[in-house]
Amino acid sequence: MRRPQHLALVTVLAGVAAVGAGCARPKTEAKAPVRAVKHTPPDIDYAKVRPNELGYIPVIMYHEIGGKPVKSDPSLVRQVDAFRKDVQLLYDAGFRPVNLSDVLEDRIDLPPGTSPVVLTFDDGRESQFRLIETSDALKIDPDCAMGVLDAFHKKHPDWEMRATFFVLPKSRKTMEPFGQLGRGAQKLDYLLKEGMEIGNHSTLHEDMSRMTPAQLQAEIGGAHNSLTAMAPEAKITAIALPMGKYPRNKAHWKYLTKGTYQGKSYEYKGAMKAAYRAIPAPANNTYDPLQLERVSCADVNWGVRDWIKRLTSGGMYPRYVSDGDPNVVSYPKGSESLVNTAKLAKQNKLANAYSPFGGDGGSKPIISAAEESPSSAKVPTTTVTEKPITGG
């Protein structure tokens, strides 16, 4: 729209007057520099809590919950009672669940003295989230993974509803997420509202080792587009590679976490391998978000129960122990070489090295070599019409 002639004239005269008065273009007022917030070490009994936020975090990999065991790969099926026992053992050992994105985005927020664990479920199988139809609702099967976690949370509210489901979307090779036709979108929505998260597990679950950049983006981007269409609230931050196989050409790895397919982009913060070891904390300079390993759920050496013992024994894999403040990274003095100082500075986090035996209380008693520590972890060794969803 053109301005009225008299307003245009006023504007011109005002500009002339300003020049005549010797006024230049008004200077933009300088913005005050953004100052980093200064954090202080948490007020905790360090000798009692013994925080170590450079330690290791178990990311456990599950597939089928219940059903016939697979002899060739015992990690593919976890019996329901064994899964219940896994959760109980983790809880008793001081672990508390977080989502994988909490690790990837380095925002682990747990009470002092507790340790994070990430439960992951691959493929979006029905045994992970099965619904039983009643006259007025869809009840969660108490023997599926969600049913077990729901019941445990109700008994132990400090075990929050957190887990990461690496889902295969509906495709020519797979049914809807979690098997039951017509319920996929409702299940995904329920998971997100409960505090769980969704991850990408590709479109067709095929070996990515020889894929071209275009094929990788179709596999990953296709799944991303399908999942976000079914669950618009989902914030996908990671992919679990089928069979844990990476592209042989390392130059193609960048497409695992960033790419475009059919005009839509995806951008992730991490890529998951298959099972073997716990991962170092995000503040540890050995942490590599593109090669994150997972722990097998099988009752084998290096399996979940073996790792509970390894992480609680204080051996070569010290576990991550929270100091209760997500803005401070606390660790025993002598571990300074492991700190990713550049990352902490960028995040405006405080690196807090402490003397493990400092403080006025909480130090551990000295016992003879023949005695067993009273706090030793006791871990057994073992070689459609929509209806509301209710808990088990």
**Average pLDDT score, the chain:** 87
Query: 82-110 pLDDT, tens per residue?
Result: 999 999 999 999 999 999 999 999 999 99
- CA distances for 228 relative to 146, 167, 221, angstroms: 21, 11, 10
Count the neighbouring beta carbons within 10 Å of the beta carbon of residue 327: 14
Percent of the chain with pLDDT over 70: 81
> Which domains can be identified in the chain, with CATH numbers?
50-322 (3.20.20.370)
pLDDT of residue 296: 96
Residue 351 predicted with pLDDT over 90:
yes
pLDDT of residue 347: 96
Residue 362 predicted with pLDDT over 50:
no
Mean pLDDT for the stretch of residues 194-200:
98
Residue linked to tokens 């209380």: 361
Dihedrals phi, psi of 224, to nearest 5 degrees:
-60, -45
Query: 281-295 pLDDT, tens per residue?
Result: 999 999 999 999 999
Query: 282-334 pLDDT, tens per residue?
Result: 999 999 999 999 999 999 999 999 999 999 998 899 999 999 999 999 999 99
3-state SS, one letter per residue, for the chain: CCCCHHHHHHHHHHHHHHHHCCCCCCCCCCCCCCCCCCCCCCCCCHHHHCCECCCEECEEEECEECCCCCCCCHHHEECHHHHHHHHHHHHHCCEEECCHHHHHCCCCCCCCCCEEEEEEEEECCHHHCCEEECCCCEEECCCCHHHHHHHHHHHCCCCCCCCEEEECCCCCCCCCCCCCCCCHHHHHHHHHHHCCEEEECCCCCCCCCCCCHHHHHHHHHHHHHHHHHHCCCCCCCEEECHHHCCCCCHHHCHHHHEEEECCEEEECCEEEEEECCCEECCCECCCCCCCEEEEECCCCCCEHHHHHHHHHCCCCCCECECCCCCCEEEEECCCHHHECHHHHHHHCCEEEEECCCCCCCCCCCCCCCCCCCCCCCCCCCCCCCCCCEECC
pLDDT of residue 19: 39
pLDDT of residue 275: 73
Mean pLDDT for the stretch of residues 354-378:
58
Question: Is the Cβ–Cβ distance between 293 and 58 less than 8 Å?
Answer: no
Residue linked to tokens 């990311």: 59
Question: Is the Cβ–Cβ distance between 116 and 323 less than 8 Å?
Answer: no
Give the sign of the dihedral formed by CA 217, CA 222, CA 227, CA 232.
positive
Query: In this predicted structure, which of 12-16, 23-27, 208-212, 237-241 has the lowest mean pLDDT?
Result: 12-16
pLDDT of residue 111: 98
Instruction: Burial-class residue 182 by CB neighbours within 10 Å (0-12, 13-18, 19+).
Output: exposed
The gap between the terminal CA atoms of the chain, to the nearest Å, is 63
> When comparing pLDDT for 247 and 379, which is higher?
247
> When comparing pLDDT for 159 and 383, which is higher?
159
Measured in whole angstroms, how far is the alpha carbon of residue 195 from the centre of its chain? Answer: 12
pLDDT of residue 103: 98
| Type of residue at 343 | K
Mean pLDDT for the stretch of residues 245-258:
97
Q: pLDDT band at 21, cuts 50/70/90?
A: very low
Mean pLDDT for the stretch of residues 4-18:
42
Residue 58 predicted with pLDDT over 80:
yes
Residue 364 predicted with pLDDT over 70:
no
**Which distant-in-sequence residues (6+ apart) come within 8 Å of 288 by Cβ?**
none
